[in-house]
Structure 1
Amino acid sequence: MTASPGRTLDALARLVRGHGPRGVAVVAWTMLGCRRVRRQLARGGLSAVRLTAPPSGGTDTLVRQALCRSGGNCLESALVRQRWFAERGLPRTVVIGVSAPAAGFHAHAWLDGDPDPHRDGLAEILRHPVPAAWLR
């Protein structure tokens, strides 16, 4: 189900009032970035992920909210946020963890240092540092 045009315009107006044009640019970059990461992961795995630099402005909360609306999974979201932080000179490592098969196997990705209740009981299997090209 998609949002009605009126609801979409109301959400856009709230975004502009709260964050200005830069906020709109950050949300657009975030949502497009999530789609790009999804395609890139499918085609070539982690080493294939390339994201352009995000626009200036915005907050991590704004990026997280846009990611929630983008429908991305935890790995896609972690990689987009990793790029956003890297542009701001904050290198963050993506961590991937898995549960034991006996516990009903599942996997989860997060940024190192973030509180994340979904990672409890998971064993880390991979740490993906920020690509050097993403750091200023």
Structure 2
Amino acid sequence: CLGEFLKLHFHEKLPKLSKPVHIIHAGSSIQYISDWKGLLKEFANYQPKILILEDLLAGEIPTFITTQNFYGKKVRSRFLNINELIEEVQALGFELTYRSRCTQNFLSKKGGALPMKNFSSQYQLRYGAHLMFRRVES
């Protein structure tokens, strides 16, 4: 129940809207999208003032795709070079206003590093990222 937030909406598919939106928030999702650049372009078409990308599997690593073991299921997952991601969003008319490390609980370790010891060192990402962008007014 959204209670007093009557104007707050959640969508499973991107809707056609006649007006710009204020905020777009994508949490723990970009890494599962094959055409993540296309999705970012679709987000930009909504002309949000703020774009929040939370819990990203992104860092100072080369971009690569792997299979994630997720509670017994195999899920394709993409790890992104964070600079490539930031440049992609900036090219859509946004500026980075906030960047922080994303900590999670993994393998019963509170705020521990990502369990990536099975990858060669160049692909190991210790922590994901949170990014927030502001649309640059032209």
TM-score when scaled to structure 1? 0.29
Task: Please identify which structure carries the higher helix content.
Answer: 1
RCO greater where, 1 or 2, for CA within 8 Å and sep 6 or more?
2
| TM-score normalised according to structure 2 size | 0.29
Task: Name whichever structure is richer in strand by fraction.
Answer: 2
